[in-house]
Amino acid sequence: MQTNETIKRFFLSRRKFLTASAQLALGLLLSSPLDALSSTSDPHMLSFVHTHTGEQLEINYIPGRYPQAAKSQLKTFLRDYRTGDTHFIDPTLMDILSRIQRLSGSKGVYEVISGYRSPSTNAYLRSRSPGVARDSLHMRGQAIDVRLTDVRTRELRDLARQLRYGGVGYYAKSDFVHLDTGQFRIW
Separation in Å, CA 112 to CA 5, 27, 135, 176: 67, 35, 20, 9
Over residues 83-101, the pLDDT tens digits come to: 999 999 999 999 999 999 9
Mean pLDDT, rounded, for 159-184: 96
160 C-beta neighbours (distance < 10 Å), count: 25
Using an 8 Å Cβ cutoff, are 95 and 46 in contact?
no
- Whether 146 has a pLDDT exceeding 50, the answer reads yes
Q: What pLDDT score does 39 carry?
A: 45
Angstrom distance (rounded) from CA 179 to CA 166: 7
Q: What pLDDT score does 6 carry?
A: 52
Cα torsion through 36, 39, 43, 49, rounded to 10: -40
- Whether 63 has a pLDDT exceeding 90, the answer reads no
- Whether 113 has a pLDDT exceeding 90, the answer reads yes
Single-letter amino acid, residue 5? E
Q: What residue spans define the domains of the chain?
A: 4-30, 34-186
Fold observed for domain 34-186: Muramoyl-pentapeptide Carboxypeptidase; domain 2 (3.30.1380)
Over residues 25-53, the pLDDT tens digits come to: 555 554 444 444 444 567 888 999 999 99
